Chains A and B, each alone.
Chain A
Amino acid sequence: MIDALLEPFTEFAFMRRALVGSLAISMTAPPIGVFLMLRRMSLMGDAMGHAILPGAAIGYLLAGLSLFAMSLGGFAAGLAVALAAGLVARSRVIREDASLAGFYLLSLALGVFLVSVHGTNVDLLHVLFGSVLALDDAALLLVAGIATVSLLTLAALYRPLVLECFDPHFLRSVSRWSSPTHLIFLVLVVLNLVAGFQALGTLMAVGIMLLPAVSSRFWADSAGAMIAVAIVAAFVSSVAGLLISYHYSVPTGPTVILACGAFYLFSMFAGRRGGALWGLMPRKHLEA
C-alpha cells in the first residue's frame, strides 16, 4: 500500500517533477479561485482559459514548441482580453461579464481561425491539453516563479481584495485602492492560468483554480479558512490524480481535475456548512 503511494515518486524523476509542479500550482491557483468565486466571477476563469488559448497558439506558430513564446503569447492574450473587458465595463454601458464574453469569444474565434489556417498539429493539441508528466526545468521554474509572485502579491493585497469583493463602494470611499486592486487581481488570474496550462492545459487549468475554491465554501466560514481548505484540497487531489493516472495509465490532467471534482461532490454532500448530509440529520436548535 505505502509502496503504491511512494514508489512512483521515488522511482521516476518525471513523477517527482509533476509532484513539485502540482504543489506549486496548488499553492496559488486555488486562492485566486476563492477570490474569483467571492467576487461572483467564477465563470470568468473559464472565459480567461479560452482567451489564453489563441495567444499560446500564436506563440506556437511563431516560435514552435517554445515554452517562453507560448507562455508569453498566452499571458499577452489573456491580459489583453481581461483589461479590455475591464475598461469597457468601467464605462458602465455594459456590465463586466457581458464585455468579457464579447472579448473572449472574439479571442477564441481568432485562435481557432489561426490554428485551422496553419493546419492542426498533434504537438499543439498536446500542449493545449497539458503535459504535467513532461515538465522540464524551465517549465518548473516558470510555474514556481509565478506561484511565488502570486502568493506575495495576494498577501500584500489581501485586505483591499476582501473589501473589493465585500463592499467595493466602501473601499472606493476610503481609499484609491479599488481600481489598482481589480487590475492587479486580473493580472494574477491570467498569470495563474498560464502557470496551469504548462501542466494541465489551458482548459483544465481553470479546474484546479475553481473546483477546490468552490468546494471550500462548504467547509469554511471565512476567506482565510476557505483559502487554506482550497489549497489542501487542490494538493491532495493533484497527488491522487497523479497516482491514479500512473497506476491505471489514464491521462493525467483530466484525472487531477476529476479528483478535484470528486472532492467538490463530496463537499456538497458532507461539507460542514450546508452539506446535504447535515440537512438529513437535523440537530435540535439552540435557545438563543
Chain B
Amino acid sequence: MSRSFGFNTISPREKVARYILLAFVLLITIGPFLWQLSTSLKGSGEDIYTRIPRLLPSQPTFDHYKAVADTIPVWDYARNSLVVAVLVVGGNVIGASLAGFAISRLQFKGRKLVLGLFLATLVLPGEVTIISQYVTVREFGLANTLFGVALPGMIGALNVLLMYNAFRSLPIEVDQAAIVDGANAWQRFVFIGLPSVRGTISVVAIFAFIGAWDDFLWPLIVLTDPDKYTLTVGLQYLSGTFSNNPRLIAAGTMIAFIPIVIVFATLQRFFFKGVEEGAVKG
C-alpha cells in the first residue's frame, strides 16, 4: 500500500535524501535514551562530564543498577507498577468490550443516553477531577493503596468509545444471521463480536498498559508511603531525596524505561495495524 506522493517508483536521489532525513530524526528521538543508557553503564571512576562526550563507556559496569536497588526498593516499585498496569489492562479490556458491544450491537431503551454520557466525559481533562477522585478513593478506604491507584482507570470512557466504534463496523447482517440460528447476545459477543475487533482490543490494552505504567500525577497524589510507590513516583523520590549521582539516576530511569520499550516493540505491529484500522483517530 504505497500511497505516497506521485508514483510507486522513487528516484535513487530521493531515496538517499529520505534516509538521511530519517537518520537525522532518529538521532534526535533516540539519542537522549542512548546517552542515558551510556551514562548508566559508565564506571564510577570514569569522567562523565568530559567536554568531548563519549557514547561508549570506557569502564562499563552494572554496578549502578545494584546501587539503585540498595538506595530504594526499586524492584518492589517495578512490581507495584506491574500490579497497577495489569489491573488497568484487565479492567479496560473486559469492561470496555462488554459496554462497547452492548451500546453498538444491542437494542435497548436509553442506549443513546448512555452513549452520550460516555461522549460527554471526553471534554473533561482528567486533572480537573483528580482532587475529588482522590476524595472518592479515600472514602472507599483505598488512599495509599495500589488498588486505589488502579481503580479509577480500570474502565476508561475513551476505551468504551473505541470498542463501540470497532464493534459498529461489523455488518448488522452477521448478527441477524446469528439470531436466526438461535445465538443469544452472549454467544454473539464471544463468537462474532470479539474475534472481529482483536486489533482494537490490542490497541486498548497497549495504551492502558503504557498509560498505567507511565502515570505519575495520580500515584503521586494517592500514595504517601514510600514502600508502596510505583516506579515513576519512586524515581522522583530517588532523584529528589537521595542522589546527585547522574549514573545512579540514569540506571533508575533505564529500569523504568526498558520494560515499556520491550512491551511496545513486541506489540508494535498490532498497534500500527490498529492505526490502519482507524482505532487511533483521536
Q: Do A and B come from one complex?
A: no
